[in-house]
Amino acid sequence: MTTPALSLKNLCKSFGPAKIINDVTLDVAKGERHAIIGPNGAGKSTLFNLISGLYTPTSGTVSLNGTLISGVAPYEINRMGLSRSFQVSNIFSNMTVRENVRCGVLHSLGQGYSFWKSVTSSKEVQEKTWEVLEHCSLLDKANTPAALLPYADQRALEIAITIAGGAEVILLDEPTAGMSHSETDRAVELIRKSTEGKTLLIVEHDMGVIFDLADRISVLVYGEIIASAPPSEIRGDPKVREAYLGDEALPEETA
């Protein structure tokens, strides 16, 4: 059996007496697009924080490509090939789009923010930056200050920065939050294109996006995974329907 890109084993996280993540075991295969859904407060962000190293598990483990990463610092995990975008935009608003992406590229090359020195001339950095901009359909906005971008483009830039580092495992936290229908459609295409061949773990409230994008969906309720299956099975799962009663409806099959 090939090693999963991400492997969670009996993962638990408590804050004081409150058990927020309760015995989560999950493998995400290399190249899989995996979605985590669940009602508000189910523990989705906490799970992301455990995977990306912001939180240390109370018990259990997280492995990235077979290497144990629980307890490892977030920047180390990033270096090991896992990159995460946040719900709240993480971009430098007074820099241009190109400069923001270049920061992501430099970060991945271990050059941090000391790039003011010589790196502007680095061919590798320049080429990679343009490649990411093209990949994320941001070429025509390369010289626009990030603060002046429309909201949807800011989120596209956030994704561009996330993938700029060349990470093989990408975590996206609500990438279409606050977007209109047409912006969401564009973002889904962008995510599909920019994560091709990579492993994607996505938390998202928009069920249309999830059912469109994911190869597999895990449903988290009160910190436990109650189902983990392809979208077609999740849609018909009575446990999942029950968990979503009174919450956002699961989309019906259209085709």
- What is the closest distance, in whole angstroms, from the C-beta atom of residue 11 to ligand ATP in the complex? 13
What character string, x for contact with ligand ATP (CB under 6 A) and - otherwise, covers 218-237? --------------------
Closer residue to ligand ATP (CB): 1 or 88? 88
Burial of 76 (0-12, 13-18, 19+ CB in 10 A): exposed
Question: Nearest distance from residue 77's CB to ligand ATP, in Å?
Answer: 18
When the beta carbons of 15 and 151 are compared against ligand ATP, the nearer one is: 15
184 near ligand ATP, judged by CB under 6 A: no
Smallest distance from the beta carbon of 42 to ligand ATP, in angstroms?
A: 4
Reported for 122-128, long-range contacts at CB under 8 A and 24+ positions apart, including other chains, are: 128/164, 128/166
CB-nearer residue toward ligand ATP: 41 or 112: 41
* Distance from C-alpha of 183 to C-alpha of 189, rounded to nearest angstrom: 10
4 or 43: whose CB is closer to ligand ATP?
Answer: 43
Q: Which residue has the tokens 């190293």?
A: 53
Smallest separation (angstroms) from ligand ATP to the CB of 209: 14
Binding residues for ligand ATP, rule CB under 6 A, total: 10
- Cβ proximity to ligand ATP: between 42 and 169 the closer is 42
Q: Which of residues 17-56 bind ligand ATP (CB under 6 A)?
A: 20, 38, 40-46
CB of 134 to ligand ATP, least distance (A): 32
- Identify the CA nearest to 161 among candidates 106, 206, 114: 106
Pick from 3, 10, 15, 151 the residue near ligand ATP by CB under 6 A: 15
Write out the residues near ligand ATP by the rule CB under 6 A.
15, 20, 38, 40-46
